[in-house]
Amino acid sequence: MAFKEKYTITQVYLTSPSKRRSGLLLSPSVKFIVAHDTGNPGSTARNNRNFYERSRDTESASAHLFVDDKEIIECIPALTSAKPEKAWHVLNYLPTDNHLFGFNANDAAIGVEYCYGGKIDADKAYHKYTWVIAKICYTYGLDPAKSIVSHHILDPNRKFDPDNGLKQSGRSYNQLLLDVISEFNDCTGENIPVYNFTAQPGSGKVIHKLNIRKEKPSTQADIVEIVSPGASVSFTGFVDNGESVNGNSKWFRDQNGNYFWSGGVV
């Protein structure tokens, strides 16, 4: 299975070693993707990369890729190198990345920055952005329905990306998740169901025997576990367009990517 190469990824690597680019490898491997926006409207992918280079010895924050309407620039090895390196794009002490994926983002995630505003064509930049995220999923065998998280979800008290950037093109974070799956399907010929997943960690108490279904919010999916009434179950978020059971199509997704019907918990 090949992946459609719709766009070119340009390597313009930051100097290594430096504060921005340590040269350390991702460990253990690429496990998920963090969606960002730059937060500086009108600044292009090349502008942002060049700023990172100029400030490489005074600041440490970084990202792997910047995307605008004209370029996809890889400034820290991520896609075009066999050995992806670490970037410092999420605070280390935050708990949500470990809760959702089992790893710290800086150790196991690729950070992708969306450039927006000013003279940047929002639609063209957005199409490149969804494409490169889908390509990361393809390259590292990630499920595009499960492997993307926003910076805002990981750091809700300080960050609002990529939501702010996406608003510039009349889109939302949830729309991004759906469009990445559609792009992945288009570029691979696969047919991954497009579920409306909302990342919202929590837990509930089982009110009657609960079937945990393998990877799909459907009573037709294989049962991987049966949970007894009274037990506590945790989830990373939910979809609102799974199979409808008694008129309720909301299903929770656990850390293993499996689903259980929301009507079975309180």
Query: What DSSP letter does each residue of 16-41 carry, written as one string?
Result: SSSSS---PBPSS---EEEEEE-SST
Paired tokens of 259: 């689903």
Contact 213, 242 (CB under 8 A): no
- Half-sphere CA count of 188, side-chain side, radius 13 A: 20
- What's the residue count for the chain? 266
Phi-psi region of 102 (alpha: psi -120 to 50; beta: other; left: phi over 0): left
Mean pLDDT per 10-residue section of the chain, whose length is 266 residues? 94 98 95 97 98 98 98 96 93 93 96 97 97 98 94 96 93 93 96 87 95 94 96 95 96 93 97
Q: Give me the DSSP letters along 137-148.
A: HHHHT--TTTSE
What local confidence, expressed as pLDDT, does residue 248 receive? 97
Helix (H, G, I), strand (E, B) or coil at 264: helix
Nearest to 174 by CA among 162, 183, 185: 162
Residue 92, phi then psi, degrees to nearest 5: -65, -35
Give the model's pLDDT for residue 193: 86
Q: Which amino acid is at 22?
A: S
173 HSE (CA, 13 A, CB side) = 18
Distance between CA atoms of 76 and 63, rounded to whole angstroms? 7
- Which is it for the CA torsion 202, 203, 207, 211, positive or negative? positive
Are the beta carbons of 132 and 144 closer than 8 angstroms? Answer: no
Q: Which fold has domain 9-188?
A: Lysozyme-like (3.40.80)
pLDDT number for residue 222: 96
- DSSP string of 88-114, one letter each residue: --S-TT-SHHHHHHSS-HHHHEEEEEE
Other Cβ atoms closer than 10 A to 124: 15
Query: What pLDDT score does 255 carry?
Result: 86
What is the DSSP code string of 202-252? EEEEBSS-EEEESSSSSTTSPEEEEE-TT-EEEEEEEESSS--BTTB--EE
What is the crossing angle of helices 122-140 and 173-188, to 10°?
60
Contact yes or no for 202/96 (Cβ under 8 A) = no
Task: Classify 51 as helix, strand or coil.
Answer: helix
Contact (Cβ atoms closer than 8 angstroms) between residue 35 and residue 151: yes
